[in-house]
């Protein structure tokens, strides 16, 4: 089993880091750069920034935030929200991002997945999927969980992989911000159908939830927001839990010089 990646998810309504429940009812938490820097100092593996209103305004407003972050932080940074063309992706990468996550534009024009993968490599192209349960299956939503697409999530991720996506960011809109645990059935349904890494997002309320989504759901990475932003645990706590639970994670050097 590959190392499980620990990812801090920062939803931004520029210039503020925000947190909601089921992508609604946003609460301002502060300067996203300050949070990102703290998580980096604690040993986070990756940072994910999502401009949560970008699809409404048809633009991504995170370039300045990304430029500032990547001056001080030396782990992969992924940026999502409002990216509608190869030119948009190029601008975000020039600002310092390593990868992009595309949801709405990919649903409206799936060929953008192939275009980004060809130009920048599959490892750069993350297909963001916002899933809501509909009976015994899940539908992919767009515009930050606001609009139906009519696409079945499992069929959509298989198509995304075939088109060149190198990774899936799978967010359960039903669980997002609830701290009730990941949608294990959703995660497992996706990980069993694709060969590319799947990042589980939405619902983590305890360290045990992380263990379940990796060991039962098959997730390759876990995106965390609520627990980190509200100080319920640190990255050091998460990594120590993983090690104690036999979940392989990267060994990092802490600021004090010790390893964990």
Residue 254 lies in a domain: no
Residue 249 lies in a domain: no
Contact 45, 75 (CB under 8 A): yes
Is a pLDDT exceeding 90 seen at residue 60?
no
Tally of domains in the chain: 1
What is d(CA 105, CA 254) in angstroms, rounded to the nearest whole number? 39
Which has the minimum average pLDDT: 73-82, 136-145, 159-168, 243-252? 136-145
Please give the pLDDT value at position 54. 74
The DSSP secondary-structure symbol of 216 reads T
Find the CATH number of the domain harbouring 183: 3.20.20.70
Residue 186 lies in a domain: yes
Residue 179 lies in a domain: yes
C-alpha distances (whole Å) from 31 to each of 18, 42, 199, 211 are 9, 17, 25, 30
Average pLDDT estimate for 165-169: 98
Please give the pLDDT value at position 254. 55
Closest CA to 140 of 114, 179, 171: 171
Residue 178 lies in a domain: yes
Please give the pLDDT value at position 27. 85
Assign 3 a pLDDT band (cuts: 50, 70, 90). very high
User: How many residues belong to the chain?
Assistant: 260
Assign 11 a pLDDT band (cuts: 50, 70, 90). very high
Q: What percent of the chain has pLDDT over 70?
A: 93
User: Which phi and psi angles does 146 have, rounded to 5°?
Assistant: -95, -30
Please give the pLDDT value at position 42. 95
Residue 45 lies in a domain: yes
User: Which phi and psi angles does 174 have, rounded to 5°?
Assistant: -60, -35
What pTM, to 2 d.p., does this model score? 0.94
| Containing structural domain, residue 34 | 5-244
C-alpha distances (whole Å) from 78 to each of 75, 151, 200 are 10, 24, 15
Contact 200, 171 (CB under 8 A): no
Residue 252 lies in a domain: no
Degrees, nearest 5: CA angle 47-118-125 = 20
């Amino acid at each position: 089993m590959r190392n499980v990646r620990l990812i801090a998810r920062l939803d931004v309504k520029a210039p503020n880091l925000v947190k909601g429940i089921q992508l609604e009812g946003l609460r301002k938490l502060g300067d996203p750069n300050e949070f990102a820097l703290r998580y980096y100092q604690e040993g986070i593996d990756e940072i994910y920034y999502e401009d949560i209103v970008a699809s409404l305004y048809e633009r991504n407003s995170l370039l300045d935030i990304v430029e500032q972050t990547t001056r001080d932080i030396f782990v992969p940074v992924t940026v999502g929200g409002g990216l509608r063309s190869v030119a948009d992706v190029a601008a975000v990468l020039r600002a310092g991002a390593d990868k992009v996550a595309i949801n709405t534009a990919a649903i409206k024009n799936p060929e953008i997945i192939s275009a980004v993968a060809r130009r920048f490599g599959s490892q750069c192209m993350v297909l963001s999927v916002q899933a809501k349960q509909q009976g015994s299956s899940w539908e992919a939503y767009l515009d930050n969980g606001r609009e139906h697409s009519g696409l079945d999530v499992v069929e959509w991720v298989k198509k995304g992989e075939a088109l060149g996506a190198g990774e899936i960011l799978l967010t359960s809109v039903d669980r997002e911000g609830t701290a009730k645990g990941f949608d294990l059935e959703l995660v497992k349904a996706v990980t069993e159908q694709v060969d590319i890494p799947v990042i589980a997002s939405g619902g983590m309320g305890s360290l045990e939830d992380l263990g379940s989504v990796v060991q039962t759901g098959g997730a390759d990475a876990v995106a965390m927001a609520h627990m980190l932003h509200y100080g319920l645990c640190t990255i050091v706590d998460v990594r120590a839990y993983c090690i104690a639970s036999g979940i392989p994670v990267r060994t990092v050097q802490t600021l004090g010089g010790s390893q964990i």
